[in-house]
């Protein structure tokens, strides 16, 4: 079945697929049925996930605001408690931005989600393994994603918030030993920044989920389509794991659960991620690196292969970009030592069409971009397989 048919079912028939919601589970069941009908033997792996991408940062900012009130009105003991709260909040949020366990994660409401996985064996001996991943869930539609202007405000507010937290920690600590009134006045501008983050992050969870045609029915649809093609025509020496993951939008919980469960048997496998790959005015785009808090670099050899395919197949219109200010499941692959290449449909000006907006619908998807991206991935898989087949020859 063409990728667009899967995309239409996910984004149109099922619709918004919030992380840990019944609609996300319905999408997983659809993926399971597609893979089963293709003659594969898929399996579902449940896991526990946070329900919101925004609650960790709302809790971080709430700790900061409580600390500020204690600092202003509770004397020396209040300053000590404020210092402790702000340190806990800042350390936790830095770990959260790095996809690592932290105290705030322990406090978040949780739900159940699932990954759908199918292993597609090659015709011959397994000499290479590839994880092909696309997430099924969709994001909310917060105010800060409603326009380019709001995105610019938000992208400035995040580092400013981290800096403000550091300054408040210093002021709270100083106030514990020297409760000068000037310190309290000095803390107010930084507390206002923390208040701004709190209001923005609280607002986000009162917005509806997007239909997610681009982000990420497009990636999931291509994974399903390629899995069907591989079921009919396996590669020679490359085993492909098709993974339809859950809960990417709330911190890549599905990708993390998959990596933790299969890291030993996958070894140094190739980790290919498809995320938001059908937007208008884009082409097949492979990212050189992604920067959220940390920077995750794509594998050099995979980038070279992608460059080769882009050059030898100009009809795809493929190009490379660096990705900043957000994350993909590629970051989880890098974290666990896999060889990573991620496809994200960035326009040449670096913007992602319809990103977390109500306009991320089927009407705003470009089927030609979807087709070209699938073609690019198919050529990449064949090239990986040729190199794997040749690697063991005398």
- Distance, in Å, from the CA atom of 302 to the CA atom of 384, rounded to the nearest integer, reads 9
Q: Say if residue 63's pLDDT is above 60.
A: yes
3-class secondary structure per residue, 83-139: HHHHHHHHHHHHHHHCCCCCHHHHHCCEEEEEEEEEEECCCCCCCEEEEEEEECCEC
pLDDT tens sequence across 339-351: 999 999 999 999 9
- From 204, 228, 254, give the residue that closes a domain: 204
**185 and 123 in a common domain:** no
User: pTM, whole model, 2 decimals?
Assistant: 0.95
Q: Say if residue 292's pLDDT is above 90.
A: yes
Q: What is the mean pLDDT of residues 7-22?
A: 98
**93 and 237 in a common domain:** no
Domain that holds residue 213: 3-50+111-140+209-391
Q: What pLDDT band is residue 394 in, cutting at 50, 70 and 90?
A: very low
- From 157, 174, 204, give the residue that closes a domain: 204
Query: Can you give the C-alpha Rg of the chain in angstroms?
Result: 22
Confirm if 230 and 132 have CB atoms less than 8 A apart: no
**93 and 19 in a common domain:** no
Q: Say if residue 242's pLDDT is above 50.
A: yes
Q: Say if residue 298's pLDDT is above 90.
A: yes
**45 and 129 in a common domain:** yes
User: What's CA 367's distance to the chain center, in Å?
Assistant: 23
Number of independent structural domains in the chain = 2
**245 and 384 in a common domain:** yes
**368 and 298 in a common domain:** yes
If residue 76 lies in a helix (H) or strand (E), which one and from where to where? helix 75-97
Give the pLDDT of residue 391: 60
**105: number of Cβ within 10 Å:** 18
Q: Say if residue 70's pLDDT is above 70.
A: yes
- Distance, in Å, from the CA atom of 64 to the CA atom of 165, rounded to the nearest integer, reads 7
Q: What pLDDT band is residue 36 in, cutting at 50, 70 and 90?
A: very high
Q: What is the mean pLDDT of residues 363-383?
A: 98
Q: What is the mean pLDDT of residues 44-62?
A: 98
* Residue 387: Cβ-neighbour burial (10 angstroms; 0-12, 13-18, 19+): middle
pLDDT tens sequence across 114-171: 999 999 999 999 999 999 999 999 999 999 999 999 999 999 999 999 999 999 999 9
**293 and 231 in a common domain:** yes
Give the pLDDT of residue 110: 98
Q: What pLDDT band is residue 392 in, cutting at 50, 70 and 90?
A: very low
- Distance, in Å, from the CA atom of 135 to the CA atom of 102, rounded to the nearest integer, reads 24
Average pLDDT over the chain reads 96
Give the pLDDT of residue 390: 84
- From 159, 176, 204, give the residue that closes a domain: 204
Whole-number Cα distances in Å, 234 to 87, 119, 283, 333: 52, 11, 26, 24
Give the pLDDT of residue 388: 95
**359 and 273 in a common domain:** yes
Q: Say if residue 179's pLDDT is above 90.
A: no
Confirm if 113 and 247 have CB atoms less than 8 A apart: yes
**62 and 45 in a common domain:** no
**136 and 156 in a common domain:** no
pLDDT tens sequence across 311-355: 999 999 999 999 999 999 999 999 999 999 999 999 999 999 999
Domain with 238 in it: what CATH number?
3.40.630.10
Give the pLDDT of residue 247: 98
**214 and 353 in a common domain:** yes
**180 and 70 in a common domain:** yes
Share of the chain above pLDDT 70, in %: 99
Q: What is the mean pLDDT of residues 229-234?
A: 98
Q: How many CA atoms lie within 13 A of 275 on its CB side?
A: 30
């Amino acid at each position: 079945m063409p990728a667009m048919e899967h995309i239409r079912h996910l984004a149109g028939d099922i619709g918004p697929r919030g992380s840990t919601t019944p609609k996300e589970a319905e999408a997983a069941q659809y993926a399971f049925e597609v893979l089963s009908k293709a003659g594969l033997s898929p399996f579902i792996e449940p896991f526990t996930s946070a329900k919101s991408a925004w609650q960790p940062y709302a809790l971080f900012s709430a700790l900061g605001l409580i600390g500020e009130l204690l600092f202003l009105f509770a004397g020396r003991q209040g300053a000590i408690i404020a210092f402790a709260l702000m340190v806990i909040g800042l350390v936790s949020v830095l770990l959260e931005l790095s996809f690592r366990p932290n105290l705030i994660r322990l406090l978040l409401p949780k739900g159940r989600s699932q990954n759908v996985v199918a292993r597609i064996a090659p015709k011959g001996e397994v000499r290479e393994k590839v994880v092909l991943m696309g997430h099924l869930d969709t994001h909310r539609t917060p105010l800060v994603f409603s326009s380019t202007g709001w995105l610019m405000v938000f992208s400035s507010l995040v580092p400013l918030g981290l800096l403000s937290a550091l300054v408040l920690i210093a002021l709270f600590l100083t106030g514990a030993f020297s409760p000068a009134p000037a310190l309290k006045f000095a803390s107010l501008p930084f507390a206002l920044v923390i208040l701004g983050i709190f209001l923005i992050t609280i607002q986000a969870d009162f917005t509806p989920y997007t239909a997610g045609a681009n982000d990420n029915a497009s990636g999931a649809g291509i994974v399903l389509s390629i899995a069907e093609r591989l079921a009919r025509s396996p590669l020679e020496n490359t085993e492909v794991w098709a993974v339809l993951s859950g809960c990417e939008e709330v911190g890549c919980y599905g990708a993390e659960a998959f990596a933790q469960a299969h890291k030993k048997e996958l070894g140094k496998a190739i980790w290919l991620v498809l995320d938001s790959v059908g937007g208008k005015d884009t082409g097949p785009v492979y990212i050189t690196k992604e920067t959220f808090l940390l920077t995750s670099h794509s594998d050099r050899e995979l980038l070279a292969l992608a460059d080769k395919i882009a050059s030898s197949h100009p009809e795809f219109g493929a190009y490379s970009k660096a990705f900043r200010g957000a994350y993909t499941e590629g970051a989880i692959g890098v974290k666990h030592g896999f060889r990573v290449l991620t496809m994200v449909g960035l326009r040449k000006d670096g913007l992602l069409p319809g990103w977390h907006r109500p306009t991320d619908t089927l009407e705003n998807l470009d089927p030609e971009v979807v087709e070209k991206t699938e073609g690019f991935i198919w050529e990449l898989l064949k090239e990986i397989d040729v190199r794997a087949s040749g690697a063991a020859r005398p």
